[in-house]
Chain A
Amino acid sequence: MLLKLAAGRLYDPVQGVDGQVRDIFIRDGWVVPAPPPGERIDREYDLTGRVVMAGAIDMHTHIGGGKLNIARAMLPEDHSADPVPRTGLTRASSGHAAPGTLATGYRYAEMGYTTCFEPAVLPSNARQAHLEMGDTPIVDKGGYVMLGSDDFLLRLMAAGEAQARINDYVAWTLNATRCFAIKVVNPGGISAFKFNRRMLDLDEKHPFYGVTPRDVLRVLSRAVYELGIPHPLHVHSSNLGVPGNAKSTLGTIRASEGLPIHITHIQFHSYGTEGDRKFSSAAAPIAEAINATPNASCDVGQVLFGQTVTASGDTMAQHRNSSFASPKKFVVMDIECDAGCGVLPFQYREKHYVNALQWAIGLEIFLLVQDPWRVFLTTDHPNGAPFITYPHLIRLLMDRTFRNERLALLHPEAQAMTTLGSIQREYTLNEIAILTRAGPARLLGLPDIGHLGPGARADVTVYRDEPDRERMFSAPEYVFKDGELVVKDGKIVSLMWGRFHTVQPAFDPGIERRVAEHFQRFYTVSAEHFRIAEDEMGVFGHGAEVLVHPCRRRTS
């Protein structure tokens, strides 16, 4: 079947197309070159005047796994206020900040997103994460597995084992958990919290193992690099939310010693201690450091106002902040000598000095990082705001008048502490296409998504070109997934289960025996049962395809 999307204005930064009128041809789920004249077109959509982009990619969104299910259990009020009724096609679900997986898949697709990555899969919880992602319809997905506070790695490091052994363990973990990339959260800090430490700065020694967060960052970024894992080490830095944490964030950016490093939800790590309230924006030095460090990238983790819930692997930070929970409840869990999780409902308020400044800091970073290929549009869903607020965020970036109107509503002292009002920059549609499509695809190393050149998967989003960009990005006119029309006028019209993205880097089989012995000696599950077998993924994903992306091994 040959499909023609005719005469839309295409924004495809990979191909260097910036709003020019183009036809797109789709066959069997892939974008193909224009067929020879006279070939029969089975279906044509006239997209005159429409804005056409590749399907959007969310490279950091907490959509699957235990911490989200804890958030769901904790927040019946979140769900009763936002039901997703059953239709003839779709099933009933619910939830605003912590939506059910069904609601998540429907709403992402309705917003023109076709690929999502869950950035905090605990190794011991990987089955649940994949089961949840498997029950998330339409979008393709993958997980970043968390290392860096697990006792096995910390023991290897404390024993001074060679980088090659660490590489083997990292590779084994990716294979065993069927994940796509490596994430580190508060390096060593989740473990230190289990030893009753409440802070662990970048160069502080872990109370038991004696290694520092910087050591963890160095060996993990090197492992990711040498194993040739496509996505750089994905880093949630030390000291999340702490005034003055910009210092350790700047140190973290350098800690990979020139190897690729991605700093996630950097807004939460860009705080200074100036002013009467000892809380200030350090967006400028942070953005400057990103600008000056070509091996570094970041996503923002923008805060938007309203009720949400924060769900993180960073037990140390979540426990420290538990008194700020709103409503007043929180869950913190130590998990399987592996990691942990903390869940706190949270309300960001415009008239609250710190919240208002967090909002401004995130936008400052968006606008001060010069290279749109190294900054990504996230709210760290649901931590800064639920993902359904993305269209609002896009308008804030594209429309300076709107942005300044919103700024004027903030806590007055926060307004005085931000340079936001003086920043002229407005994002263009082309830059939005980089932030939400081309950039993530490049940083994830996924060459067949994020663009619409021949050979791309036919994930296509078609918008009406409306001056109100929030409206425009809220409800695309058409969304195609693998060439199939899944959304029309913002509503689901057909369903599928999205595929999984994984990697399987090679490792020396000797590590399997060591891991198995370790599990046998210390844990309550055997390594063999911990490991997710290949055929289990088929069950998790309702038979959806499991892609294994190549790793290009490098040696130092």
Chain B
Amino acid sequence: MPSLPPVSGEVTDVTCPFCGLLCDDLVVDTTGGGVAVRRNGCRIALAGFERTGAVRSTPLVAGRPVTLQLAVAEAARLVASARLPLVAGLGTDVAGVRAAARLADRCGGVVDHMNSAASVRNLLVMQDGGWIATTLSEVRNRADLLLVVSSDVGGRFPRFFERCVTPKETLFTKERRCDVVFLGSALPKESEWPGPAPELVPCDPERLHEAFSVLRTIVAGRPVAAREAGGAPVGVWRKLANRLRAARYGVATWAAADFEFPHAELTIQVLCELVKDLNRETRFSSLPLGGSEGDVTAESVLLWQTGYGTRTSFSRGRPEHDSYHFSTARLLATGGADLLLWISSFNEARIPPATAVPTIVLGRDGMALERQPAVFIPVGTPGVDHAGHLFRTDRVVALPVRRLRDSPLPSVADAIAAIEAAV
């Protein structure tokens, strides 16, 4: 592991683990055991790093402070006696997912991630039709039109525009221009636009599929019988279609987490098919945005080891994937799972769902839980308390994150290894 000893003082070239962009140019100050962001920190980075003040490292069993050893022993007892343990949350790094997968396999459990509801919307599209996609450096150098589809990109990924859209100098020109078009009901309020607000093409998010279908028809050169689609007259879509076709390297981006409506995967699919159609004449790509809380990391590691991503069960001695039946919410609601092992090492606000089943939490310290879990083990945060590896939103780039301070907290991987050894 890139395990440079933490230095007290200013640290440059720090990689931020708190969203899927993995910006690697932060400057932080680690004087006094805290982490203060000095440069290149966005709102999310500041919230993630700067709360890392005093460390409360005491594990709890039924709310009572105990040693780590006792907490691990109790966790192991619960895991060993569970019929179907649910290993969920999975907010951790590569090493943490490797450990979680090994434990779930050994104990016949299920693995799921706290962001799966969103990532499954994209996964179903990959499984059914696929897509044409791109990565951040390609967008940074090639995109001349960015279509933001009903997503708060600036809110979820604050430096996206600064890093990928506004730079003027690219590999191919010194005067690059990338127009931004926002397709959705209204521009996100808090978005940090890189200058003037982008052009809004209004469309009800739940009717985006109509707009994309009409756009596909127009791009294919077929007649359109409808007068309107998605709440806008067809003329609007003809104009947009012409812009999309005129782009030399257009990019459509969305955050599936913002597609909170039934069968959002079908909306994403027709968008991806539109992008494929555009590639008959020009180049156009998709950029699904995610990767926060280690969701792309969890999906990637589970995929390569077992053949399936999250929402995979090992209960019958072989991996079985079902994005509906093996969701955390469903397994807890139906009583399918009888133990919850919740992992959340980046964000103390991502607490386990309310459930009556016994719960073990490997959580970032400072996590405020509504009710005391059976076991709480505070764990270190990758990129703050220990080194690790994370995957970026584009599912291509994995980066090391480093240890910034001395910390008594175990990593998720260490905590799970201890539990597994005691089972």
Contact = CB atoms under 8 A, between A and B. Distances in A.
Interface in B1-33: 1-3, 13, 15, 21, 24-25
Interface in A242-290: none
Nearest to A538: B1
Interface string A175-206: 00000000000000000011110000000000
Given A86-B105, A533-B2, A539-B389, A101 B304 contact: yes
Main secondary structure of the interface of B (DSSP, over half): mixed
Contacts of B163: 524
A127 interface: yes
A485 interface: no
Contacts of A336: 135-138, 396-397
A30 B348 CA distance: 52
B129 interface: yes
Contact of B307 (A100, A319, A523): A100
A91 interface: yes
B98 A92 contact: no
Given A69-B395, A536-B2, A131 B304 contact: yes
Contact of B396 (A155, A330, A335, A533): A335
Interface string A66-91: 10111011111011100111100001
A79 B321 contact: yes
A69 B129 CA distance: 16
B137 A525 contact: yes
A126 to B, nearest CB: 9
Contacts of B102: 91
B397 A124 contact: yes
Interface in A90-134: 91-95, 98-103, 122, 124-125, 127-128, 131-132
B318 interface: yes
A524 B140 contact: yes
B314 A86 contact: yes
Nearest to A67: B396
A313 to B, nearest CB: 12
A337 B123 CA distance: 25
Given A74-B130, A94-B308, A131-B398, A334 B138 contact: yes
Interface residues of A, number: 71
A361 interface: no
A92 B135 CA distance: 32
B309 A73 contact: yes
Contacts, number: 202
Contacts of A127: 389, 397-400
B389 A92 contact: no
Contact of B126 (A68, A74, A539): A74
Interface in B292-340: 299-301, 303-309, 314, 317-321
B261 interface: no
Contact of A535 (B1, B141, B283): B1
A210 B123 CA distance: 39
A86 B317 contact: yes
A124 B307 CA distance: 23
Interface residues of B, number: 67
B130 A522 contact: no
Contacts of A151: 141, 171
Contacts of A529: 13, 15, 24, 399-400
A400 B126 CA distance: 42
Given A76-B321, A331-B131, A337-B138, A93 B398 contact: no
B241 interface: no
B2 A66 contact: no
Contacts of B406: none
A2 interface: no
Nearest to A103: B307
B127 A521 contact: no
Contacts of A343: 130
Nearest to A74: B126
A2 to B, nearest CB: 34
Contacts of A72: 303-304, 307-308
B306 A102 contact: yes
Contact of A331 (B133, B279, B321): B133
Contact of B137 (A66, A128, A329, A524): A524
A333 B105 CA distance: 32
A438 to B, nearest CB: 31
B129 A208 contact: no
A83 B319 contact: yes
Interface centre among A68, A73, A195 (most CB of B within 10 A): A73
A337 B318 contact: no
B69 interface: no
Interface in B241-294: 248-249, 276, 279, 282-283, 285
Nearest to B132: A332
A528 interface: yes
Contacts of B319: 79, 83, 92-94, 100
A74 B171 contact: no
A153 to B, nearest CB: 12
Contacts of A334: 133-135, 138, 142, 285
Interface of B: 1-3, 13, 15, 21, 24-25, 94-95, 98, 102, 105, 123, 126-138, 140-142, 163-164, 169-172, 248-249, 276, 279, 282-283, 285, 299-301, 303-309, 314, 317-321, 389, 391, 395-400
11 contacts: A79-B308, A80-B321, A84-B318, A94-B307, A101-B305, A124-B135, A135-B98, A193-B283, A194-B283, A524-B140, A526-B24
Given A101-B304, A103-B307, A529-B400, 4 more contacts: A72-B303, A92-B105, A333-B132, A535-B3
